[in-house]
């Protein structure tokens, strides 16, 4: 019987490199295979994972609230034979085995049809990091937006600020750089969007207008207001701790009134936002990011009524509803056996199985997002002994499935 620490080290080492594992230990090579053999990692619902979640709920002194997070990851268009089964065809976990099926190209699920009837309301949160990127893309490509009073929200002020800082050789307390201007080359980086639409950039524009009295910034007031609104909106939907201040504070009874006022003003602002030709943004083909924020806030208020008002939870961390947890999990899958950005269906299954068993993978910060808190995925323990491990973070009572 191996200790938990030794098993964790062995599985993690084998996850990154089977050759490294063989070099460190060339005896009892079948031990890991025995551990893996007790878990089914085929497509569909993983029953062992659901059993572990059930045990977590039963062993917790507090109510557990689970959120279902959905995302997709590209996989290689490839079919291979392992000696018993083919891997690579479209498989939704229904047990259908046919070589006439289409070849899979993505890890995802089908939401076009539903076979269940919901007895409770479903609250949907479009991923806030993706929404802020879409808003940035619209602002950066359209250049000019108009508010309800037809005041210009102009992207050129950000370009002028960048030129001013480069000419003067200093930055006025913000992270604005050249890559924020040419963001279309790095559209997937969330930090380029959040750093552009940030409080520090709004403060710098206000400083140039009211303190330095620069002529080219005298009409940037509506642009400042636009940036501040989306900075605050993202802070609310990215809250991680009850100990934070302002809009970054977790939703609770103490700040719900302030949040309701902000959400009301924000909704009115978005609904009256126009392009330079007079067409409303929310009626255009660039509406996704803006409507996504409105959907998030609408769901957030309903969740408050259902979870916090009845004292089921004391506070709500909105960060727990983001896709970051899945992005980190996908990053761990891609790091399998070195780095594989486009795994086959068989390689994906192998990586998923090892992560379920107990591979402790530390993120290197090179994926779509970086971990800002300690986290771990649900883990299945081999053998008759079950170890319940907490998901560590600011709120240990909100799990993401």
pLDDT at 294: 97
DSSP letters, 326-343, are HHHHHHHHHTTTS--SS-
What is the domain partition of the chain in residue ranges? 39-124+322-399, 128-317
**Percent of the chain's residues with pLDDT above 90:** 43
Query: For 63, which DSSP code?
Result: -
Residues 69-110 have pLDDT tens digits of 888 888 888 888 888 888 888 877 766 655 556 767 676 666
Strand partners, 153: 145
Tokens of 176: 């604005």
88's CB contacts (< 8 A; 6+ apart) are 77, 78, 79, 80, 103, 104, 344, 345, 346
Beta-sheet pairing, 152-154 with 65-67: unpaired
* pLDDT at 196 > cutoff 90: yes
Task: Report the sign of the C-alpha dihedral through residues 136, 137, 143, 145, in that order.
Answer: negative
Model's pTM, two decimal places? 0.80
Query: Residue ranges of the alpha helices (H) in 25-155?
Result: 31-37, 47-58, 128-142
Q: pLDDT: is 33 or 346 the higher one?
A: 346
Average pLDDT, whole number, for the chain?
82
Give me the pLDDT at residue 210, please.
96
Q: What is each CA distance from 311 to 60, 150, 172, 302, 304, in whole angstroms?
A: 16, 44, 44, 14, 10
């Amino acid at each position: 019987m191996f200790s938990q620490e030794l098993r964790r080290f062995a599985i993690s080492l084998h996850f990154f490199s089977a050759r490294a594992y063989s070099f460190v230990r060339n005896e009892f090579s079948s031990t890991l295979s025995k551990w893996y053999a007790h878990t089914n990692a085929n497509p569909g619902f993983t029953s062992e994972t659901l059993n572990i979640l059930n045990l977590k709920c039963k062993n917790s002194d507090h109510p557990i609230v689970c959120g279902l997070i959905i995302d997709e990851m590209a996989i290689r268009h490839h079919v291979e034979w392992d000696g018993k089964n083919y891997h690579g065809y479209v498989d939704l976990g229904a047990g259908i085995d046919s070589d006439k099926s289409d070849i899979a190209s993505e890890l995802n699920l089908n939401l076009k049809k539903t076979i269940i009837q919901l007895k409770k309301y479903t609250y949907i949160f479009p991923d806030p990091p993706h929404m802020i990127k879409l808003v940035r893309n619209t602002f950066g490509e359209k250049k000019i937006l108009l508010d309800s009073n037809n005041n210009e929200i102009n992207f050129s002020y950000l370009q002028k600020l960048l030129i001013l800082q480069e000419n003067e050789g200093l930055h006025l307390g913000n992270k604005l750089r050249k890559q924020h201007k040419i963001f279309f080359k790095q559209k997937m980086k969330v930090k380029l969007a959040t750093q552009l639409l940030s409080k520090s950039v709004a403060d710098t524009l206000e400083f140039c207008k009211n303190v330095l009295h620069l002529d080219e910034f005298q009409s940037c007031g509506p642009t400042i207001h636009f940036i501040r609104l989306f900075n605050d909106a993202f802070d609310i939907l990215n809250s991680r701790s009850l100990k934070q201040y302002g809009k970054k504070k977790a939703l609770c009874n103490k700040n719900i009134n302030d949040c309701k006022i902000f959400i009301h003003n924000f909704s009115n602002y978005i609904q009256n936002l126009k392009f330079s030709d007079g067409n409303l943004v929310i009626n255009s083909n660039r509406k996704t990011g803006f409507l996504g924020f409105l959907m998030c806030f609408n769901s957030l208020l309903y969740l408050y009524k259902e979870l916090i008002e009845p004292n089921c939870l004391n506070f709500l961390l909105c960060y727990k509803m983001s896709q970051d947890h899945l992005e980190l999990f996908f990053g761990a899958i891609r790091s399998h056996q070195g780095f594989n950005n486009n795994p086959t269906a068989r390689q994906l299954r192998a990586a998923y199985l090892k992560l379920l068993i107990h591979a402790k993978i530390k993120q290197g910060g090179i994926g779509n997002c970086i971990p800002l808190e300690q986290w771990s995925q649900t883990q299945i323990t081999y053998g008759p002994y079950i170890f319940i491990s907490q998901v560590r973070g600011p709120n240990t009572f909100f799990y993401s499935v």
